[in-house]
Each structure stands twice: as structure tokens, then as C-alpha cells.
Amino acid sequence: MTPPPGNEFAAAASYVPAFAPARRGRSPGLQAGPRRRLAALAGLLVGPGVLAMLGENDGPSMLSYAGSGATYGLGFFLPFILVTFAAAYCVQEMAMRIGAVSGRGYGELVFQRFGRLWGWVSVADLVLTNLVTLITEVIAIRLGMGYFGVPPWIAVACAVSLVVLGSCGGRYRRWEQLAAGLAVFNLIFVAVAVWAKPSVGDLTSAIATWGPIPKTSLAAFLLMVVSNIGATVTPWMLFFQQSASIDKGMVSGDIRRGRINTGLGAVLAALGGCAALVAASTLFTHHVDMSRYEAGAGFAEALKPFLGAPAAGLFALGLIEAGAVAVMTISASSAYAVGELIDTAASFDASPRQAPLFHGVNVGVALLAGLVVLIPGAPLMAISLNANMLATILMPAALVFLLLLANDREVMGAHVNGRLANGFGIAIGVLVTLAGSAYAVVSFLASVGVHIG
């Protein structure tokens, strides 16, 4: 992964990347023989794009969507979730394209193009945010298993064991297959939503009118807005998808396939997120006080009287799945980032003996998160919402670097951003910044006794 000597980013007259990408794997697009078409189809259905998006439908995200439905009903947040996933696609498409063209991860490129300081800062921010987010993933697994009477320590052990199993596979493809097999079950939330029997007219009206919004404090509403943004557009996704695209062996010829894969992931994840909101909106209809259930996070238990034990059990299983996939992908993003910055082996194709730092970080962050979750009396829902808020606050800086890299002809050659991609990217950055800033200002004013709304 060390770039060749000299000016590895020197521009070429034809505007193609001036350095040879350091590939970790073998591109599915280069496979020969009768398996070529099957591999191409698998590349469309299973890949970093789908895993990044469904991995982002993690524990805190599903709790955030459910909290939106339980607090505000269908109203504003059902169409808002669709918009956030459209934004997530725009961001993740850039990350995939940069990885496929450059053959280098996000952290590695930031280090090389913007210097050691920004490289270390970006990775330090990522690891901190990932640790907080991983805590919430283990919380989701603990809540889901707790519904079935599983003790917290067993739930934590299962979460960490899953990461260990992924590290022991010795192949990126095996890790991807394990994560993809779990990610399929994110659609469990769709079954729960159908069970809730929502009115088609109410769903259509909510999407068309973005309302009505129940009266509440502005600070509480902005917290939910920021939390929903942080549920879909987060820094770890950039690190993960860009690095996983390289680990899968993608090259510039695979960009179209990568876009389809990322778009499919966005659609599936949006479907799952909206379904969680629709299912939990039952609690809004019946005016349920969620503070009585596991510090506001016990949605499965709260839904049981209204939807029945089977639907509540499915919701709990969905939380387990959401946490499980995210534990694997977020731990992996931390390992990729640290491995790239230290300039050592950072690939699931390398065994733990060949890449001890990569696999050590992968398992270590999950273990640390699990130990934190076992602390008695932790405010579970507050941790989940604020984890997403932290991701929203840190996202603008990551977006700036992403846009600069995507427009760098010495890195991207002919695959630089077009005007449309830049327009969407800048708009997303501005909106994320405004949402985080507005919440910070309103919260500060409330802390000094000035209440707005």
C-alpha cells in the first residue's frame, strides 16, 4: 500500500490517474470462464454498497426511526428518511468511485493529499465516533436478545464473537458473504410494518405533504432531525465503502456495477428504515409513554400489546440483525482506517498472523464497546440518539475531504465529479451543517433559559 516513489499524484496529459493503484483483491469484473456472469450478478446484489447502506440501518438508526414514529407519527419523518437515503447514495457513490479508481482508502488518500495532521485527525475522529456507535450497536443486540430473556453478558459475547468469526475467515469474500447473509434480515422490519396495517391513504398523505408535525419543543424536534441525518449519512460509511471496494478488487471498469449495488442498498435500507418508523407509529397513535420501556428504547415490548407477540418478536429480531451487521461493518471501517494510516496490511484477505494490527483493531473496538454496554443503568435511548448526533456533527469535515478528492484530476483522472454530483454534494454538506448547528444553538439557548418554539 506504499505509493511508488516520486510524485505519485503527478497529472497526466490524458487526465488518467498518474499512479498505479495498489490493489488488495481481484476485481469480480476480471474473472474468466463460465462463472463470469454469475460473479457479475453477485457483484450487483452483494457488495460494499449494499453492505454500507444496510450496515447503516444499524441499532441506533432503527431506534431513531422507531423513535421518530413513536413520537411524531408518520408526518414529517417518513418522507424525510427517503431524502436522507438519497443523500447517502450521492455520498457513497463518490466513495465507491474514488476507491475503484485510486485503489486507495479514504484515510490513506487524506493522509497523502492533505498531510499527516489531517490524516491523523480524520482517523482519530472516525475511531472515536465508531466506538460510540459500536456501543449503540451492542445495545441494540442486547435489547433484542433481552426481549427473549437472554442475559446481557451473553448478548455482548455473541456480538464480539461475530466480529471474531469475520476476522477468522481469511478471505474478504467470506466476510462479505457472512455480513450479507445477516443483512438480508433487515427486511424483517417490513413484515412488522405490514403487521401494523397502516392506512395507504395516511402513508401517501405523509409523503406528499410532509405533515402534520405534532407540537413539541424545537430542541426535541431538531434532535430527531439530526439523529435521522446521522442515521444515514455518517463518516464510517466513507471509510468502509471506499476500502471495501478495494478489498473486493474493484477497478474503474466496475464503477457502473458499483453504482447499481449502492443504489440497490439505498433502496433496501430506505425500505427497512421507513418500515421501522411505520411500525412504531402505532405507539404514537395509542399515545404510549416510551419512557416506561428500557429508557425509551424497548420498542418490541411496547409494541406487544398492540401488534401481538409475533410482531414484537420480529421487531426484536430486527434489532439484533441491525446491530449484528453494523458491528461487523463499523469495526471493519475502524480497522481499515488504522491499517491504511499506519501503512500496513489492511485486508480481510490477510490472515490475523499476516495483519495483526488490522484484525486486532477489528476485534478490539468491538470488545471495548461490549464492555461499556455491560455498565449497569446506562441510558440506552439517549446514547443511541446522541451517537447519531455525533456522526452528524463530524460529517461536514469528512464531506469536504470527499468532495476535494472526487474533484482531484491527479487522483481521479476522467472520473472526477460532474457538476450534478458536486451540486448534490455541496447541498448535502450545507444541510448537514445547518441541521447540526441549529440543534447546537437551540440546545445552548435552552441551557441558559431561552426557549424557542
In sequence order, the 6+-apart residues with CB closer than 8 A to the CB of 86 are 266
In sequence order, the 6+-apart residues with CB closer than 8 A to the CB of 274 are 65, 78, 81, 82, 193
Return the closest-CA partner of residue 192 out of 138, 272, 73, 85.
Answer: 272
At 141, the amino acid letter reads I
Alpha-carbon torsion, ordered 87, 92, 98, 100, to 10 deg: -140
Q: Scanning the structure block, which residue is given the C-alpha cell 428500557? A: 294
CA 330 and chain centroid, separation? 8
Cβ atoms of 137 and 369 within 8 Å: the answer is: yes
Q: What is the pLDDT of residues 378-426, one digit of tens each?
A: 666 666 666 767 777 778 888 899 999 999 999 898 999 999 999 999 9
Name the pLDDT band for 41 (thresholds 50, 70, 90). Answer: low
Name the pLDDT band for 449 (thresholds 50, 70, 90). Answer: low
Q: What is the pLDDT of residue 140?
A: 81
In sequence order, the 6+-apart residues with CB closer than 8 A to the CB of 232 are 56, 61, 81, 84, 85, 87, 88, 269, 273
Q: Scanning the structure block, which residue is given the C-alpha cell 453504482? A: 259
Q: What is the pLDDT of residue 181?
A: 82
In sequence order, the 6+-apart residues with CB closer than 8 A to the CB of 11 are 18, 409, 410
**pTM over 0.85, yes/no:** no
Other Cβ atoms within 10 Å of 376 Cβ, number: 5
Long-range CB contacts for residues 9-18, cutoff 8 Å, separation at least 24? 9/112, 9/113, 9/408, 9/410, 9/411, 10/410, 11/409, 11/410, 12/413, 14/413, 14/414, 15/409, 15/413, 15/414, 16/413, 16/414, 17/101, 17/102, 17/410, 17/411, 17/412, 17/413, 18/410
Instruction: Classify residue 348 by its DSSP letter.
Output: T
Name the pLDDT band for 18 (thresholds 50, 70, 90). Answer: very low
Distance CA 55, CA 265 (A): 9
Cβ atoms of 219 and 439 within 8 Å: the answer is: yes
Q: Give the relative orientation of helices 255-285 and 77-102 as an angle to the nearest 10 degrees.
A: 160
Name the pLDDT band for 182 (thresholds 50, 70, 90). Answer: confident
What is the Cα gyration radius of the chain? Answer: 21
Cβ atoms of 395 and 74 within 8 Å: the answer is: no
In sequence order, the 6+-apart residues with CB closer than 8 A to the CB of 291 are none
Span 7-30, average pLDDT: 41
Q: What is the pLDDT of residues 46-61, one digit of tens each?
A: 788 888 888 778 777 8
Span 205-213, average pLDDT: 81
Q: What is the pLDDT of residues 331-362, one digit of tens each?
A: 888 888 887 777 677 778 877 888 888 888 88
Distance CA 441, CA 226 (A): 13
Percent of the chain clearing pLDDT 70 (strictly above): 82
Angle, vertex CA 259, rays to CA 254 and CA 263, nearest 5: 150
Cβ atoms of 347 and 358 within 8 Å: the answer is: yes
* Domain covering 47-447 assigned CATH 2.40.110.10 in the classification: no
Return the closest-CA partner of residue 119 out of 340, 333, 336.
Answer: 340
Domain ranges for the chain: 47-447
Range with the poorest average pLDDT among 16-20, 134-138, 189-193: 16-20
Return the closest-CA partner of residue 368 out of 322, 324, 331.
Answer: 331
First to last CA, the chain: 53
Other Cβ atoms within 10 Å of 209 Cβ, number: 11
At 258, the amino acid letter reads G
Cβ atoms of 380 and 296 within 8 Å: the answer is: yes
Span 275-294, average pLDDT: 82
Has residue 304 got a pLDDT over 60? yes
Q: Scanning the structure block, which residue is given the C-alpha cell 466480529? A: 163
Task: Choose the most confident range, by mean pLDDT, from 48-62, 208-222, 305-319, 384-398.
Answer: 305-319
